[in-house]
Amino acid sequence: MTNDATVSAASKRVRPHPSQNEALLFEISSPGKHAYKLPPLDVPAVDATALLGAAHREKSAELPELSEIEIIRHFTRLSTWNYAIDLGMYPLGSCTMKYNPRVNEYVARIEGLAEAHPYRPESLAQGVLEVVDLLQRCLLDITGMDAITLQPAAGAHGELTGILLVRAWHESNGNARSKVLIPDSAHGTNPATAAISGYTVENLKSNDEGGIDLEALARQVDEETAALMLTNPSTIGVFESQIEKIAEILHAKGALLYMDGANMNALVGKARPGDFGVDVMHLNLHKTFSTPHGGGGPGSGPVACKAFLEPFLPTPVLVRVEKSAKAPDAGPWEAEGEDPSSADGVAMFRAPSPPHSSTDKVESRNSRLTWEYNRPQSIGRVRAFYGNVGMFIRALAYILANGPDGLRQTTEDAVLNANYIRAKLEDIFELPYKTASMHEVVFSDKRQAALGVKTGDIAKRLIDYGFHPYTVSFPMIVHGALMIEPTES
């Protein structure tokens, strides 16, 4: 097949990119048009000037004036310019742009969950609290950690929470310590997190395989090291095979191991950070657990930790108490003896049976969940209310729909897909690190750059073929990086 024919055939497989023009709403506005018609006033008119005083504006705001159909067409046209995971492959490395199954959306729209309000009395919110509790237990099972908070609203927010836990623990031991070690392959948010937590950042050079250089690590870790922030698998898609030794070196000096869980899609069901020495980590529900990225998600970055860090978790912490027990910080609605959740039909939603324990069902019948606020060592709140609960529901739906075997299969497929892409392209693009790939593969533009074409150019050409570009020029340890993460979907 000729080159033109190849391109043509490839182009036919993908959608054409819509390219119609669209003016701003202000530019298509016409005075007097409106999208609604109010009925005549049937209450006494109010003098707005008298009511608002100085706050009453003299001129009306200059807002666009359009009919309803013009507004609908405008935003519908704009929406066709978006590229989305529902339109095609989105191989943005380190972002795990996987398909968001529709069952997640179905469950999140169940009335009792969709309408749950953070100010709803605890006694009337036991269903949604069971969802939160079950998700927490699933995530602890997946990570091998001991305690968790779901409060952080994104990955970087989770990092900040995690490093604040590290700091609080060191402070409780009499010295917050002064520095955090970060490999040169790390996400940029890692050094930002350490700096904003009051630590200086010390760079750790990668070895020839793209992993941690153990000798360099041993030289750099000292009694002033608070933690190492490590992404595993690393940003070049390589598993840190020396991870247990890394943890040993850190722990010997009283430093902790923080794991950036951005790449957890390569580990779920196969390896648990809690088993290989990690002390604290964050997860990205919007990556690994299929909640949306689009429009800001919203994201969700739970932080899981070992038991010794549990006292420092953000408040409030979800605890299970016996049904007769008064909540630790019961609100005024929690009158003694009153327990509306025990009445048939009051609880809005019952969580499905927990996946791993038959005794859990009995336990949830004889107990209730409550938020515990009285935690003197806590780092305090990191977010209003309890986190992005809508994302918890979607993530739990994903976990339960897949089950342990399904999640493991997902991981295997994600790794298989990345290696398929590697095998298909490694004769054409330079592969700087030959170590076995996990969930993503990173090439260099070395051969193409010699002809004057850089990674950014190739990424932009990929748009013409109907694909979202891969991650460009990251990680920094690869010159002209092409970072491709196909995910399992």
Partner 1 sequence: MRAIAKEVEETPELVKTAPHSTRVSRLDEVQAARKPILRWKKAEQE
- Min CB(429)–partner 1 separation in Å: 7
Q: Which candidate, 151, 6, 105, 2, places its Cα nearest to that of 465?
A: 6
- Min CB(17)–partner 1 separation in Å: 4
| Contact of 155 with 191, CB cutoff 8 Å | no
**How does DSSP classify residue 272?**
-
Residue ranges in 18-77 that form contacts with partner 1 under rule CB under 8 A: 19-21, 24, 26, 62
| Contact of 138 with 282, CB cutoff 8 Å | no
Residue among 222, 346, 464, 476 that touches partner 1 (CB under 8 A) = 464
Rounded to whole angstroms, what are the CA distances from 339 to 332, 363, 386?
A: 13, 17, 22
Other Cβ atoms closer than 10 A to 439: 27
Binding range to partner 1, per CB under 8 A, among 66-74, 300-308, 321-329, 456-464: 456-464
Q: Which two tokens stand for residue 461?
A: 């050409």
Other Cβ atoms closer than 10 A to 358: 8
User: Which residue number, 2 or 359, has a Cβ lying nearer to partner 1?
Assistant: 2
- Min CB(424)–partner 1 separation in Å: 7
Residue among 146, 360, 412, 457 that touches partner 1 (CB under 8 A) = 457
- Min CB(78)–partner 1 separation in Å: 11
User: Which residue number, 6 or 342, has a Cβ lying nearer to partner 1?
Assistant: 6
| Contact of 182 with 194, CB cutoff 8 Å | yes
**How does DSSP classify residue 340?**
G
What is the total count of residues that contact partner 1 (CB under 8 A)? 29
Residue among 10, 48, 72, 335 that touches partner 1 (CB under 8 A) = 10
User: Which residue number, 258 or 429, has a Cβ lying nearer to partner 1?
Assistant: 429
Q: Which residues contact 9 (CB under 8 A, 6 or more apart)?
A: 1
Rounded to whole angstroms, what are the CA distances from 457 to 260, 360, 460, 472?
A: 30, 55, 5, 10
Other Cβ atoms closer than 10 A to 244: 12
User: Which residue number, 283 or 472, has a Cβ lying nearer to partner 1?
Assistant: 472
- Min CB(458)–partner 1 separation in Å: 6
Q: How far apart are CA 180 and CA 193, in angstroms?
A: 10
User: Which residue number, 23 or 307, has a Cβ lying nearer to partner 1?
Assistant: 23
User: Which residue number, 24 or 384, has a Cβ lying nearer to partner 1?
Assistant: 24
How many helical (H) and strand (E) elements, i.e. helices and strands, does the chain have?
A: 14, 12
Question: Which helix (H) or strand (E) element contains residue 280?
Answer: strand 280-282
User: Which residue number, 166 or 478, has a Cβ lying nearer to partner 1?
Assistant: 478
User: Which residue number, 29 or 241, has a Cβ lying nearer to partner 1?
Assistant: 29
Residue ranges in 152-191 that form contacts with partner 1 under rule CB under 8 A: none
User: Which residue number, 14 or 330, has a Cβ lying nearer to partner 1?
Assistant: 14
Q: How far apart are CA 396 and CA 414, in angstroms?
A: 20
Residue ranges in 385-424 that form contacts with partner 1 under rule CB under 8 A: 424
Tell whether residue 81 is a contact of partner 1 (CB under 8 A). yes
Binding range to partner 1, per CB under 8 A, among 177-185, 271-279, 289-297, 461-469: 461-469
- Min CB(482)–partner 1 separation in Å: 8
- Min CB(176)–partner 1 separation in Å: 35
User: Which residue number, 99 or 465, has a Cβ lying nearer to partner 1?
Assistant: 465
Q: Which two tokens stand for residue 489?
A: 């979907």
CA angle 99, 105, 106 (to 5 degrees): 130
Other Cβ atoms closer than 10 A to 177: 21
User: Which residue number, 11 or 366, has a Cβ lying nearer to partner 1?
Assistant: 11
Residue among 12, 13, 16, 343 that touches partner 1 (CB under 8 A) = 16
Residue among 56, 270, 434, 461 that touches partner 1 (CB under 8 A) = 461
Question: Which helix (H) or strand (E) element contains residue 352?
Answer: none
What's the half-sphere exposure (Cβ side, CA atoms, 13 Å) at 487? Answer: 26
**How does DSSP classify residue 438?**
S
Binding range to partner 1, per CB under 8 A, among 175-183, 203-211, 411-419, 455-463: 455-463
- Strand stretches in 1-113, DSSP E: none
Binding site for partner 1 (CB under 8 A): 3, 6-7, 10, 16-17, 19-21, 24, 26, 62, 81, 424-425, 428-429, 448, 451-453, 457-458, 460-465
